[in-house]
Amino acid sequence: MICRRILLGTLVSAALISGSSLAIAADKPYVPLISKGFSHQFWQAVKIGAENAGEEFNVEITFEGPDNEGQVDRQIDMLAAALAKKPAAIGFAAVDSQASIPMLRKIDEAGIPVIAFDSGVASKIPVTTTTTDNIAAAALAADKMAEAIGGAGKVAVISHDQTSRTGIDRVDGFVNRIAEKYPDINVVSVQYGGGDHLISTEITKSILTANPDLKGIFGANEGSAIGVVNGVKEAGADIVIIGFDSGAAQKEAVRSGLMAGAITQNPVGIGYETVKAAVMTMNGETVPPVIDTGFYYYDASNMDDPEIAAVLYD
């Protein structure tokens, strides 16, 4: 059953803000967005959403992130460079929910609002966070895993990290749902591959070697999920794979049946709502503390449905 949780999709948002007070001055305010990474297709989709909003609201947007999602120091350097340009606001998706706080304090002291997106920080500095409800999304992934393996057996989790809010919440959402609802399922391993599909491939093969009776693996982001797919193929295993995010390779794995299904976020909506929230803040308008951009579960049976296809990306 489709989880109908897209609350703030791009088309709906565009309709809602039509004629609102979000118009801004003709000289463009500058809003840089610093993401967790840049290479994954997910981040490219977020960038598209941010650029769409920048054009709509006449805001100058830049979008950058480290080469991979483990480069905490590189991301903090990007924040410092953004601060030096005296922007009107900053969008920020934290690689590490703690490490960036000292730099965020400097930004806050300069009177520059921070809009967190995708992955929040352990601080009240951001005026809002535009994100998926990752705990609920991962819990749905656990339900789908349980259904696919018949409610019993060993499963594993490969996630991108244990420092970002998304990494923490997706592991907790999956593992806690299994513990609460499925006593005959045992999570035998939770490991972290930095969102790198090559590292996640090797981790997958290692888990399969140690657990020849494994029933399934949950890959908690795009790079992790593709690593699981590749590792399962290389090992010649026959297990259930549940993924997270989209992208061409993951869509093909779902379509072919190698991956049972995956959770998709609304990355274009995340980018759009981040810039929209920045504009509202610049205009002195109140924004909610969390902007839930929603999620769906997709598999081969529904991925071509219009409401699902609209939030899948290549």
CA atoms within 13 A on the CB side of 161: 19
Q: What are the CA-CA distances from residue 11 to residues 16, 137, 312 (Å)? A: 9, 22, 15
82 vs 7, higher pLDDT: 82
Please give the pLDDT value at position 302. Answer: 97
> Is the per-residue pLDDT at 191 higher than 70?
yes
292 near 7, Cβ under 8 Å?
A: yes
Mean pLDDT of 4-32: 51
Q: Residue 171 — very low, low, confident or very high, per pLDDT cuts 50/70/90?
A: very high
Poorest-confidence range of 3-12, 174-183, 218-227? Answer: 3-12
β-sheet bridge partners, residue 218: 157, 242
The pLDDT tens digits for 111-158 are: 999 999 999 898 999 999 999 999 999 999 999 999 999 999 999 999
Environment class of 176 (CB within 10 Å of its CB; exposed 0-12, middle 13-18, buried 19+): middle
The helix (run of H) or strand (run of E) holding residue 14 is helix 10-17
Please give the pLDDT value at position 8. Answer: 37
Please give the pLDDT value at position 21. Answer: 42
Q: Residue 17 — very low, low, confident or very high, per pLDDT cuts 50/70/90?
A: very low
Mean pLDDT of 15-44: 72
What whole-number distance in Å separates Cα of residue 134 and Cα of residue 263?
A: 10
204 vs 68, higher pLDDT: 204
The pLDDT tens digits for 158-168 are: 999 999 999 99
Please give the pLDDT value at position 11. Answer: 36
What whole-number distance in Å separates Cα of residue 224 and Cα of residue 245?
A: 10
Rounded to two decimals, the pTM is: 0.84
Please give the pLDDT value at position 36. Answer: 93
Average pLDDT of the residues of the chain = 91
Q: Residue 38 — very low, low, confident or very high, per pLDDT cuts 50/70/90?
A: confident
Mean pLDDT of 72-88: 96
> Is the per-residue pLDDT at 244 higher than 90?
yes
CA atoms within 13 A on the CB side of 258: 18
> Is the per-residue pLDDT at 14 higher than 60?
no
Q: What are the CA-CA distances from residue 274 to residues 162, 175, 196 (Å)? A: 24, 29, 26
Mean pLDDT of 90-100: 94
**φ, ψ of residue 90 in degrees (nearest 5):** -130, 135
Please give the pLDDT value at position 5. Answer: 41
Of the candidates 71, 34, 299, 74, which has an alpha carbon nearest to the alpha carbon of residue 195? 71
Sheet with 261-264, strands from edge to edge, namely 185-192, 153-159, 214-219, 240-244, 261-264, 296-298
Please give the pLDDT value at position 24. Answer: 44
> Is the per-residue pLDDT at 253 higher than 50?
yes
